[in-house]
Structure 1
Amino acid sequence: FRRTYAETLNSSPVVLEDAISDASPDIIVTPSDYSTQLTITDADRETVYEGSVTGFRSYLFAENGTFDAKLVVTASDSAAEDSSSVTGTETWQFRFTVGIKPSVTLCTPTVQQGSVAAVRVGSTMSQTEPTLTGPLESTGFVRAANGWICYLPIPWNAETGNTELTVTADGYTETLTLSVRAASYSYKDYSAKSQLMSPYIGADDAPDAVRKLLTTDSGEIQWAVGGFVQPFLDSFDTPLLYGMTEYVGRSYSERSTNYGYGGRTSTNVVIKPKKSKDSMIVPASGHVLLAEDLGGSYGYTVVIDHGAGLRSIFYGLTALDVEAGDDVKQGQLLGTSGRTVVAELRIGTVPINPLLVWRGQCDGLKYY
């Protein structure tokens, strides 16, 4: 009673309605002792897989798209359980779409002014960099563990409330809602301009030698090992804090309500070490982009690239222990301070609060 099956092959593949959302889907043929031959071609008719169904279990699709499959199943005499089993081959042809959406996560749903938000995107099938649009500046996504990450610096005066961010990856778009909360800033009042903090280096006062480095391509994330520490081993004072506003000549009523015009707000930290010419250390590993005397109120200046657009800037040193081009490690001797040091942290061109980062209070930079 044994029969051999013969078929007339239809060249039009069956189209599967549901997209495949797994990079490594399985095809199951029963009984398992049937032999199989599977061939999968992409939209350009290039063969992306050829082999058995068992071997296909370890195959990973490298990109989204439409694919054609040809599956030939063979039942031979050795596979027949009894003399009445059917032997021969049968062929299936089907077309399917691989549409794998990468994961998109807002790591920091709520963040304060002066800090950093982080958005993570899982591995993309196309291996192309995701994009992010919204009202906040960023340096874009960089490679991270199992995907991509983007750091968003939150300016000291960022508008509070909900902000929408749009992430596009592998053709998929997702909208995220970031909540920005107000930070608590202090202020100082003076009766004369001579009392203002000096040196003062505002956000727009960076010298050309530093400014041109803020938009250059940045390297890989360097602070993933060890994070950040304060640049002084000894304690220090901070006569001018990030976000602190200095006023001259405000009236009593203006001071009592903290209202007035003409104040200047610091976007960095002025540090006064306990002893002049104190030793400074590298706060986090990175690559030295600049180490030279820029003269005037800048003095000896160091710029360290920590990767992902994040850079440390120090003004006012009196001696340097690093050179441009050096790869430095956290805790390495950086140089000698002057009477005061102006310390900045920027992501791209946007200054953030150095104290939050040095003290481990900036959650966004804990994702990498």
Structure 2
Amino acid sequence: MLNYLKCAFTLCCIFVCLPLSAKLITITEKQYQSGGYLVVQAAPYSMVEFLDTSYTLDAKGYLSIGLSREVSGNKRISITSPSGEVERKTLRITPRKYKVQRVNGVPTSRVTPPAEVVKRIQAEAKKVRDVRAKIGDYDYWRTDVFQWPVQGRITGVYGSERFYNGKAGSPHWGIDIAAPKGESVYAPAGGKIVLAEEDLYYSGGTIILDHGAGVFSTFLHLSSVDVKVGQFVKKGEHIAAVGSTGRSTGPHLDWRMNIRDVRVDAALWIKE
């Protein structure tokens, strides 16, 4: 009888202590605006549905999601735990107004490429896409506090409408930071070098740094690429030098960030 009462008391405590409706999802970081991002924390390997895309949290229970330039308004996010519990939230994404920037003095061949380089451009674009399709299992993206890769005057911002020699181009996806040619470029956070090219047609000297979980930094127009593919670098480590290679009219660093295939605003990752 005594054992029965002990068992009953234990069961009672379990039911009293457990919440009736446990919170499945926590958004630990958020930039609820076009070009922003959110960091989701929940049970490892939970499934998330957002903007018609399915994601799986990593083994530590984290997930990064990018918000594209065009995303705004009320958007629904849902999470399903490994045990089948479901939670839904509505996120309010603030729209942004983007600047118009006119860039003149660009060589004609970099605005309207000649037919003989089209295949080269397509091959380079595929190489970049393939690199970003691989998700690295690293935690730098959430353990390091991002810093500016170079100091200088901001001459171009994320999302702006670009006109090259008067001709409309794609939106600008990075932050342009004016600096002298040869100025050191430093890793804004740790990660693995997954692309290191001396001369891509549009971006010239180019590096892609994988911070893990689909979070990538890309550095364009470099005069010197001082790392190799497969190399791990720490936050603040020298990786390259500022230049004006590719489609550029003067020395500067174009720093871009992606979360998987979504282009996000790198400036929103700076907390220092």
Classify the TM-score, shorter chain.
Answer: 0.7 to 0.9
Q: Which runs of 5 or more residues in structure 2 are unaligned?
A: 12-19, 112-120, 244-250
Once the two structures are superposed, the pairs formed by residues 219-298 of structure 1 within 5 Å of their partners are: 219-232=137-150, 235-247=151-163, 262=168, 264-273=170-179, 275-298=180-203
Rounded to whole Å, the distance in 1 between the matches of 2:37 and 2:210 is 17
Task: Write the deviation string for residues 94-127 of structure 1: whole angstroms up to 9, x where unpaired.
Answer: xxxxx9967222446770111102222135xxxx
Distance 1:223 1:119 in 2: 13
CA distance in 2, matches of 1:327, 1:208: 23
Instruction: Name the amino acid aligned to 1:210.
Output: V
Spell out, residue by residue over 1:264-287, the C-alpha distance to the aligned partner (whole angstroms, 9 max, x if none): 4212223321x2211111110111
Aligned pairs (5 A) from 1:39-50: none
Unaligned ranges ≥5, structure 1: 6-27, 33-52, 58-98, 124-128, 251-260, 362-368
CA RMSD of aligned residues (A): 3.5
Counterpart in 1 of 2:240? 335
Measure, in 2, the Cα distance between the counterparts of 1:304 and 1:321: 13
What secondary structure, in the 3-state scheme, does the structure 1 residue paired with 2:178 have?
strand
State whether residues 161 and 180 of structure 1, in contact with CA within 8 Å, keep that contact through their aligned partners in structure 2: yes
1:195–1:327 Cα change, 3 Å = closer
C-alpha change, 1:162 and 1:318, in structure 2 (3 Å) is same
Relative to 1, partners in 2 of residues 1:136 and 1:181: Cα closer, same or farther, differing over 3 Å? farther
Higher relative contact order (CA 8 A, sep 6+): 2
C-alpha change, 1:238 and 1:215, in structure 2 (3 Å) is same
Q: Tell me how many residue pairs correspond in the alignment.
A: 244
Q: Which has the larger radius of gyration?
A: 1
Aligned-partner residue type, residue 256 of structure 2:
E
Query: Secondary structure at 1:179's aligned position in 2?
Result: strand
1:137 Cα deviation from its structure 2 partner: 4.9
- Indicate yes or no: 2:38 matched with 1:117: yes
- What aligned pairs does 1:1-368 form with structure 2 within 5 A after superposition? 29=3, 103-107=24-28, 111-122=32-43, 129-135=45-51, 137=53, 140-144=56-60, 148-158=61-71, 160-169=72-81, 170-189=83-102, 194=105, 207-232=125-150, 235-247=151-163, 262=168, 264-273=170-179, 275-338=180-243, 339-357=251-269, 359-360=270-271
Shift of 1:218: 1.8
- Cα separation, 2, equivalents of 1:182 and 1:122: 31
* TM-score normalised by length of structure 1: 0.58
Taking a change above 3 Å as real, the CA distance of residues 242 and 163 of structure 1, as seen in their structure-2 partners, is same
TM-score normalised according to structure 2 size: 0.76
- Output one character per residue of 1:28-51: Cα deviation in whole Å (capped at 9) or x when no partner: 83787xxxxxxxxxxxxxxxxxxx
Q: Following the alignment from structure 1 to structure 2, what is the Cα–Cα distance between the partners of residues 249 and 314?
A: 24
| Partners of 1:108 and 1:179 in 2: CA distance | 14
**Partners of 1:272 and 1:109 in 2: how far apart?**
28
Q: Deviations over 1:169-211 (max 9, x none)?
A: 1211111111100124222357xx6569x978xxx98622211
* More helix by percentage: 2
Identity rate of aligned residues, in percent?
21
